[in-house]
């Protein structure tokens, strides 16, 4: 809308029938007096967007051990040497954790095994899965499992077990060999890339391509080489990538000067990489950038999206929760990492001593929910992108010492605002082929399902 149009709109009396007014009325930007229906529809739209709240905690992460056979320079979790077995989750803690998980009212429950490297404490992973399945025979939830692993310690026995129990593997790939090995260092000095490649083949044989996803962590080294990384993902048979920025936790803090970058630098690289991915798709290679896909779902569709890290109120504790190896419960991975760095501010309780109500209706989760609604937070409340965004109170706390924080100059805000700017620029340019692709991503279909051209 230009200024003249805006002035004309303001000058119009009630009962306006100008095309612009009607367009804005249809989108519920403007209304005539006493429009009860508009209020009802807006309420429904808001309820639809916030539908993720009704099921409460769906994602339950269990830190099976803090030990790891790798020392990645960006490790958020500050992994511990494999020899120190006192950082393993014991069966007592695992059992109590699963008992607590099934007290959540969510109709669908996903249990994610994390670390450290969970395969180093495989017996507990296995027993936990078997026990959870047993409990679910009565609880009858839609139950899923994911193991987050570097797959170095993968064995045929583990693959078979995963296949039998329909367990997905979420692993990590940082690009071509030099980049991967440069950042994902195995403790024994062998190439973690070679090991990854070999074991990925074995895992895919058992679990199929859909059963093994990979996560990319972007360091300073990656910024200039993202197209190469993307090519590598395609070559390895992955159908998408999440272009994820580093978070300021764990080893990433100490190594920041080597691996870190500014949000502005990240978004420049992100935008170029997104262009590259778009071109790949238009040239016939289906490949999704998952963060863009998530944001597009929010921009283009009226539906709720279940991404824990970008919700309002924050998904911390409400959508996802993490159980540390010692039974301590935190609202998010970052809160657990913060605890490892010495600050237990977000400790919600312990599975060994506290009840479900004490933990999930306690002061930590209430405080987080109250202080993480972007609709009411200063700065966010008037942001045009508020509808698509969310709060990250734990990160604000880490950066500013306060869960509300000061967002306009936070890296989180700068990154998201600029990425959304870029997505809107592309939408605004109106290249029909790209808009078709974006709709395909937003509705999780292939490009050919979205286009109209008769074959």
Partner 1 sequence: MKVVKGIPNNIGGTIIGRITKSLTPICFSSGVILATPHVPKWVIGFVALITTATSTATIPSVSCLVSNDFDGLCEGDIVRLGVDGTVQILWEARSFQNVLYLNDHCNSACIMCPQKVEGSLEKYHSVMTKVLSLVSASKQVAHVGITGGEPTLFLENLIDILNTCRDRFPNAGISLLTNGKTLADFNTAERIALANPNILFCIPLYAPTSREHDEIVGSSGSFDLTMKGFYNLVRLQRPVEIRIVLLQQNYRRLSDLAEYIYRNLPFASHIALMGMECSGVASDNLARVWVDPITYQQELYECVLEYHRRSMNVSIYNLPFCLLPKDIWRFARNSISEWKKAYLPQCEQCIKREECPGIFSTSVRQSSFINPIVT
Check: CB of residue 338 under 8 Å from CB of residue 398: yes
Q: Work out how close the CB of 48 gets to partner 1 at its nearest, in angstroms, rounded to a whole number.
A: 8
Please identify, using beta-carbon distances, which residue of 139 and 299 lies nearer to partner 1.
299
Please identify, using beta-carbon distances, which residue of 84 and 445 lies nearer to partner 1.
445
Q: Report the distance separating Cα 84 and Cα 70, nearest Å.
A: 14
| 3-class secondary-structure state, position 146 | strand
Structure tokens at 300: 């283009």
Q: Work out how close the CB of 417 gets to partner 1 at its nearest, in angstroms, rounded to a whole number.
A: 24
Q: Work out how close the CB of 105 gets to partner 1 at its nearest, in angstroms, rounded to a whole number.
A: 22
Q: Work out how close the CB of 452 gets to partner 1 at its nearest, in angstroms, rounded to a whole number.
A: 5
Per DSSP, the residues of 202-221 read HHHHHHTTTTEEEE----HH
Question: Which residues, in sequence order, are bridge partners of residue 309?
Answer: none
Please identify, using beta-carbon distances, which residue of 42 and 130 lies nearer to partner 1.
42
Q: How far is CA 411 from the centre of its chain?
A: 17
The total of other beta-carbon atoms located within 10 Å of residue 413's CB is 22
User: What φ, ψ does residue 404 adopt, rounded to 5°?
Assistant: -80, -40
Please identify, using beta-carbon distances, which residue of 44 and 239 lies nearer to partner 1.
44
Check: CB of residue 379 under 8 Å from CB of residue 371: no
Q: Work out how close the CB of 443 gets to partner 1 at its nearest, in angstroms, rounded to a whole number.
A: 5
The residue ranges of DSSP E strands in 124-228, in sequence order, are: 142-148, 167-172, 184-186, 212-215
Q: Work out how close the CB of 297 gets to partner 1 at its nearest, in angstroms, rounded to a whole number.
A: 12
Q: Work out how close the CB of 42 gets to partner 1 at its nearest, in angstroms, rounded to a whole number.
A: 9
Please identify, using beta-carbon distances, which residue of 29 and 91 lies nearer to partner 1.
29
Q: Work out how close the CB of 423 gets to partner 1 at its nearest, in angstroms, rounded to a whole number.
A: 16
Q: Report the distance separating Cα 206 and Cα 200, nearest Å.
A: 10
What is the sign, positive or negative, of the torsion defined by CA atoms of 14, 17, 22, 24?
negative
Please identify, using beta-carbon distances, which residue of 235 and 453 lies nearer to partner 1.
453
Structure tokens at 245: 């920025």
Residues 6+ apart with CB under 8 A from 161: 126, 129, 167
Q: Report the distance separating Cα 318 and Cα 54, nearest Å.
A: 10
Q: Work out how close the CB of 19 gets to partner 1 at its nearest, in angstroms, rounded to a whole number.
A: 8
Residue reference for tokens 């916030």: 50
The total of other beta-carbon atoms located within 10 Å of residue 18's CB is 12
Tell me which residues touch partner 1 (CB under 8 A): 15, 17, 22-23, 25-27, 36-37, 40-41, 44-45, 48, 301-303, 435-436, 439, 443, 445, 450, 452-454
Q: Calculate Rg over the CA atoms of the chain.
A: 23
Q: Work out how close the CB of 286 gets to partner 1 at its nearest, in angstroms, rounded to a whole number.
A: 17
Please identify, using beta-carbon distances, which residue of 25 and 386 lies nearer to partner 1.
25
Structure tokens at 353: 């001593």
Q: Report the distance separating Cα 99 and Cα 105, nearest Å.
A: 13
Structure tokens at 304: 């709720």
Please identify, using beta-carbon distances, which residue of 16 and 358 lies nearer to partner 1.
16
Check: CB of residue 242 under 8 Å from CB of residue 215: yes
């Amino acid at each position: 809308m230009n200024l003249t149009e805006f002035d004309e709109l303001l000058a119009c009396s009630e009962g306006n029938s100008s095309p612009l007014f009607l367009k804005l009325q249809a989108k519920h930007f403007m209304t005539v007096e006493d429009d009860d229906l508009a209020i009802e529809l807006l309420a429904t739209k808001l309820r639809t967007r916030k539908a993720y709240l009704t099921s409460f905690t769906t994602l339950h992460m269990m830190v099976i051990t803090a030990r790891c056979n790798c020392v990645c320079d960006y490790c958020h979790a500050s992994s511990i040497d494999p020899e120190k077995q006192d950082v393993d989750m014991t069966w007592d803690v695992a059992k109590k954790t699963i008992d607590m998980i099934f007290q959540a009212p969510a109709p669908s429950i996903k249990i994610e095994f994390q670390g450290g490297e969970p395969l180093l404490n495989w017996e507990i992973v296995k027993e936990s899965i078997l026990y959870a399945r047993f409990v679910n025979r009565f609880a009858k939830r839609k139950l899923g499992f994911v193991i987050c692993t570097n797959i170095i310690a993968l064995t045929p026995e583990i693959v078979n077990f995963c296949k039998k129990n329909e367990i997905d593997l979420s692993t990590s790939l940082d690009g071509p060999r030099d980049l991967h090995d440069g950042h994902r260092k195995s403790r024994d000095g062998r190439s973690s890339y070679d090991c990854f490649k070999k074991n990925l083949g074995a895992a895919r044989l058992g679990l199929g391509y859909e059963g093994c996803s990979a996560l990319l962590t972007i360091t300073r080294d990656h910024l200039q080489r993202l197209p190469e990384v993307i090519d590598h993902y395609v070559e390895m048979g992955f159908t998408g990538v999440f272009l994820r920025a580093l978070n300021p936790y764990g080893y990433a803090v100490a190594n920041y000067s080597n691996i870190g970058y500014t949000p502005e630098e990240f978004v420049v690289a992100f935008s170029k990489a997104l262009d590259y991915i778009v071109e790949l798709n238009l040239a016939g290679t289906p490949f999704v950038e998952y963060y863009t896909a998530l944001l597009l779902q929010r921009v283009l569709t009226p539906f709720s999206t279940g991404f824990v890290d970008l919700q309002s109120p924050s998904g911390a504790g409400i959508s996802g929760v993490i159980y540390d190896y010692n039974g301590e419960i935190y609202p998010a991975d970052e809160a657990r990492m913060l605890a490892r760095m010495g600050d237990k501010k977000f400790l919600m309780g312990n599975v060994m001593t506290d009840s479900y109500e004490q933990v999930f209706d306690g002061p930590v989760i209430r405080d987080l929910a109250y202080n993480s609604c972007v609709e009411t937070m200063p700065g966010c409340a008037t942001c045009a992108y508020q509808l698509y965004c969310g709060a990250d109170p734990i990160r604000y706390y880490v950066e500013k010492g306060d869960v509300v924080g000061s967002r306009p100059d936070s890296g989180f805000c700068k990154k998201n605002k600029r990425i959304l700017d870029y997505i809107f620029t592309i939408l605004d340019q109106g290249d029909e082929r790209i808009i078709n692709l974006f709709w395909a991503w937003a509705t999780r279909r292939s490009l050919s399902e979205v286009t109209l051209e008769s074959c």
